[in-house]
Amino acid sequence: VRYAILGDIHGNWEALGAVLADIRRSGVDQHVCVGDIVGYNPDPARCLEQVRDLGTLVVQGNHDFFTVHPPGAMDMSAVAAAAIEWTCANLEDDHRQYLAGLPKNRTFDDVSVVHNTLEQTRHWQYVLGVDDANRSFAHQDSGVCFIGHTHVPVVFKKKKGLVTIARYKTIELDPDSKFLVNVGSVGQPRDRDPRAAYVIYDSDTRQVALKRVAYEVGRTQEKIRKAGLPLWLALRLAFGV
């Protein structure tokens, strides 16, 4: 089975459209989303409807969650909170119901999917280093787990009790290791590469390939300005931070 695994779309329609065109060219059987369909960027409804219409297997991200459960002051930065408030006001009831009903985890075909970590998802903590990854691996029965949340594509590998971290373009999933793969972000990359990121995973060959797709950043930036969203959200897209 060929899976396209994408996440942290964050309401960026230009990025999502470019990624879906790229996916159509390579051909996949199933779309999977590691969460955060909405938040930050100005097209949450359109992105949500597209993801929903593709029959995507989705898990809930923190922005999806906080859009339907308004955040407390401690839960996120002022910029993120302002964007959440804007997003909430620009969705319909059926969108909110969809976000509220998303599961936190999914497992299928020796694959796990979660937004941030399998350790526990209540506080939306990040997997930044090998210690965080090791705590997630303790809850991972499948050979590979796909995550997002940091917007930085990296792979953690656990072999004979040892966890290592690496950047990647392709990964061969060898059967005596476990893998925790961050698929990067479609709508707000933070690895200093402004191109949208997503992953193709083939469960027959057990290969993971990271894809990068250029899109019309200027168009999204213009929409952010017109929507009155914080200007930093436009600026950062040009730099991939």
Query: Which parts of this chain interact with Zn ion (CB under 5 A)?
Result: 8, 36
**Minimum Å distance from CB 141 to Zn ion?**
25
Which residue, 22 or 36, is less far from Zn ion as judged by CB? Answer: 36
Cα separation, 70 vs 169, whole angstroms? 37
Contact status, residue 65 vs residue 35, Cβ threshold 8 Å? no
**Minimum Å distance from CB 10 to Zn ion?**
6
Structural tokens at position 39: 């938040």
Contact status, residue 59 vs residue 26, Cβ threshold 8 Å? no
**Which H or E run includes 133?**
helix 130-137
Longest dimension (CA), the chain: 53
- 219: three-class secondary structure by DSSP: helix
**Minimum Å distance from CB 67 to Zn ion?**
12
Structural tokens at position 158: 């656990």
Which residue, 17 or 61, is less far from Zn ion as judged by CB? Answer: 61
Which residue, 157 or 195, is less far from Zn ion as judged by CB? Answer: 195
Which residue, 36 or 191, is less far from Zn ion as judged by CB? Answer: 36
Cα separation, 120 vs 141, whole angstroms? 15
Residue 55 gets the label, from left (phi > 0), alpha (psi -120 to 50) or beta, of: left
Which residue, 149 or 178, is less far from Zn ion as judged by CB? Answer: 149
**Minimum Å distance from CB 76 to Zn ion?**
10
Question: Backbone phi, then psi, for 176, in 5-degree steps?
Answer: -95, 15
**Minimum Å distance from CB 208 to Zn ion?**
20
